[in-house]
Chains A and B, each alone.
Chain A
């Protein structure tokens, strides 16, 4: 019996090639898309789950409010971990990680500038799962100046020689002995290190105060401990330990701090939630976006649904041609149940072909897709059974409606050749087409708005001039001779301005956040102010404008004790005529008064997607001022675009003279800036891809339906033509219905897209108004595609010789 079902299914597919093609290819594309998206979703959700205790690890975070400044950050104070371990039975262990900068490491003649060097407590091996290849995890990080390195680094510095006991020199200052070699974290980890230096090398107690938050603290909770109940104990802890320091530094009690509307609190993030759901200041790496992953998940389901709808639609539309067969089967004794099973089996068979095709398609486009979304995805043989397991539910979903509809046919009527398409069936088919196009138009509008928003951010006035700027990176490695380096760079006529700073616009690493105080109208106001160090040429090189006062000047030695605020800071403090007033800021333990010498107009010193925060610029110490000498990580060179090649060669030579073996790393500022939007651009590309696929699938379905309708109306068209209808009349007749459906689809899609994109735009501090042109444009595109599809089929019917169609009947 089954063989007979499959045989009939196969032969009817062969007989109706166009429908079969539309069904199978449509379904295969839907399934392919669905598999690709779900692979991505699965990957994003797999982050940090490779740790044995992943479910019990939490990161301690800090949130608070000082005046108008709210902050939420990954950092916490040095004593937090040890104190919690001692005082709370829920905490089984803790480890602190500290990002201590970007050292230049030397071993014999090898010199490399490294970016993934962290300090960690020796307990890092107890909290996290870090397989050790060489050395003993119990002792590897217990001694000062020991370092554990990854296998890749072992190879890089020591080749095939045993790295244990070898000494790595850091920044020509400190020697670290290699005490262990570990496997690297997999890609799906929220942080990656190449080197873990022992925390004791830096004596974290030096940072013993509770208000200085420079560590990432990870807590290992006991099995069964409730994170929520544990979090409820934090307020008491804060009052006990943070309270006295608030009293000491701000001169008010913690209760007073809370009373005046400020806040200071700890909270936990589960390790496995960090990648998708944590967007705090100080994340180790750019995290994923749970919202995007969720949206992609929905899109996957929708696209699969669209493809299934094609199947339902075409199968029921074709029911005419199968009706006679069903009538015969029923007359010969086939029960309704047998007919249902037959059509479900047929649907599963078609689904199986589509899935097989989809697996081949996934395999062939996966490398391209993985690159597009910048995610290492691979399809392994072990995934296949899981994928194929889905053939049955998808086949049942797609086949259920046709099976129940077809099996309900009255054999009497169908054998007499009566029409079996009911009004209800038409409505349902139309409803499904409307649904398909609504989804397609919604996706299309969304894509356009996302692109618009990205364009907007990329071209909006940043408050600075990003053109013709070269960034030489890691110039802090040059050390004390940086002034001479800058001077040498200026020797080339192509170098117009050269500036050194700890931070460049758009790069948030190195932006500090300090609580600063100002006396405004006799009252001390404390705000969190972002700060970094610049030299005298910083405003010139980026073409920043001054709102009040002046920028740092070489002529005035006293400027080393001056500060430039941005307008956001002035507004945050609510101070009038700030120039000449003092800002109290905490550089070490004591607040230091620094004179405000100027106010710079707001510009995007961080990512242009973020609102401009209050910010203060200090002058980089040259060793003579009261601040410790500091050398900025970046040298920015404003160049003459006509002399770019010359200046590049000059920078290379100069670098060699000052930095020796260390490789020169430079980039064009505008490219660095563009990099900030890579994720958004990728998301936009992906949504565009999905929108295109959705429209393609919906169009395939419409094509099938149109050809069916034209076929069904062959006789009507013949009669109309005999009575004098022109080809145009017939075209209009056949396209009119589709156009009606499209209008309804668009009417549904527009409010949906408007709402969804409105929500999405809320993520951006600076956003576009949604243009009506986008809604109109997307709707027109969908309608034109739909009408052309139908017209093509209708045209065939319209130009056919009416005599033929009538005789055929």
Chain B
């Protein structure tokens, strides 16, 4: 599904040149649940941004669903994202001015899905995620765990090929963190490909493979016991 070859990302300021990603070769197959770990500043988030087409790599190849996407324009990336990728963030990133329902509806609006179908899909999704009774509430009125469920709902509403989760449990207590991890695991069981950045080895173990990054390079990869595919 995803294949990178010698992927580099270099940040340049006036005086300093920082290599955030250094010759990354990574393969992610459909149906996998990949955890990415590593110390702060190792390039985890940069890798997520490039994989999520939020950012272009500086050099190297990047195949996504068979397409070479490394030199896509902003508009092409936006189009690709909304069709194929769902995002879950550490800080939920829900829009405060929109209700739970409207937040989840937003990606469908950008996809131009007709009203009736939109309503149907959003309601179904919220019920499935166990926040259906909160659909008219605003994000501030929900607990952290509930907010992350809404964020996951939003990430999944377009039936993306892959979900990218950047420290999805970082802002949650352990009870809510477990909840969200179980949710992701279930999704993966149902066939959704997931790439997740985490600091927690316990949560990394929810995935079938863990990639450890160090100074922008892949230090090692380990297969986890709970391999489901």
Contacts and interface: CB of A to CB of B under 8 A. Distances in A.
Task: Give the interface residue-count category, chain B.
Answer: 20 to 34
Interface stretch (B23-31, B91-99, B171-179, B182-190): B91-99
Interface in B1-58: 45, 49, 52, 54-55
Say which size band chain A's interface belongs to. Answer: 20 to 34
Nearest to A332: B107
B87 A329 contact: no
A415 B106 contact: no
Given A332-B110, A333-B81, A334-B110, A327 B102 contact: no
Interface stretch (B71-79, B123-131, B203-211, B216-224): B71-79
Q: Which of A325, A332, A335, A338 is the most central at the interface, judged by chain B CB atoms within 10 Å of its CB?
A: A332
Interface in A313-333: 324-325, 327-333
Interface string A1-20: 10010011001100100000
A332 B97 contact: no
Contact of A415 (B93, B95, B107): B93
A333 B74 CA distance: 10
Interface in B119-159: 154
Given A328-B93, A411-B54, A7 B79 contact: no
Contacts of A208: none
Interface string B79-95: 10111000101010111
Given A4-B102, A325-B95, A415-B93, A333 B54 contact: no
B159 to A, nearest CB: 13
Given A11-B97, A331-B54, A336-B75, A415 B89 contact: yes
B161 to A, nearest CB: 14
A327 to B, nearest CB: 7
A330 B78 contact: yes
B102 A332 contact: no
B109 interface: yes
A324 B111 contact: no
Contacts of B97: 7-8, 11-12, 15, 325
Given A338-B110, A411-B54, A415-B89, A332 B98 contact: no
A332 B106 contact: yes
Nearest to A416: B45
Given A332-B82, A333-B81, A412-B55, A327 B106 contact: no
A186 B52 CA distance: 71
B95 A335 contact: no
A2 to B, nearest CB: 10
22 contacts: A4-B98, A4-B102, A4-B105, A4-B106, A324-B95, A325-B95, A327-B93, A329-B106, A329-B110, A330-B78, A331-B81, A332-B110, A333-B82, A333-B107, A334-B78, A335-B75, A335-B78, A335-B79, A338-B110, A411-B54, A415-B89, A415-B91
Given A7-B98, A336-B75, 14 more contacts: A8-B97, A8-B98, A11-B97, A324-B95, A325-B97, A328-B94, A329-B95, A329-B106, A331-B52, A332-B107, A334-B82, A336-B74, A336-B78, A415-B89
Interface of A: 1, 4, 7-8, 11-12, 15, 324-325, 327-338, 411-412, 415-417
